[in-house]
Structure 1
């Protein structure tokens, strides 16, 4: 799966890593639902850090289509709330 982090580029994620990303996504979604800005910030950074850690960065000139788009680290809680789908940022 190819994921784009807005403002950073794309990373390729193994299907084996999706479950752990879904857990972090659920925690982020809970922080958003609680309108807890401090927890939201921690959870967003944890999700993005994990994607960077487990993912393999694609070259900047790569033109692969992104299957998922994640917000940048400095996104507001409102911006991320608008990006949430029925299954959070990472379906599955």
Structure 2
């Protein structure tokens, strides 16, 4: 059955004594990302009967596994955009010839 939208959350608490983050999540997109990052064997997962993915998880992360950013989009010039497009075009051609 899962959790209602208003119940879904992810929390992180930093322990200065242990220099690690302790987390909990019952928000499916975050669970997926955390499981991919840490591996299912490194988390405490609770499952609902008949459900393959975890209903909620508890986990620990190293200090450097969490970062804070402004969340602003990067602004690039038209010249930078063109150069990036050219690099992607060349990469695509290179990968196409490998198969």
If the length of structure 1 is used for normalisation, what is the TM-score?
A: 0.25
Higher Cα Rg, which structure: 2
The structure whose RCO (Cα within 8 Å, separation 6+) is larger is 1
Higher helix share: 1
If the length of structure 2 is used for normalisation, what is the TM-score?
A: 0.24
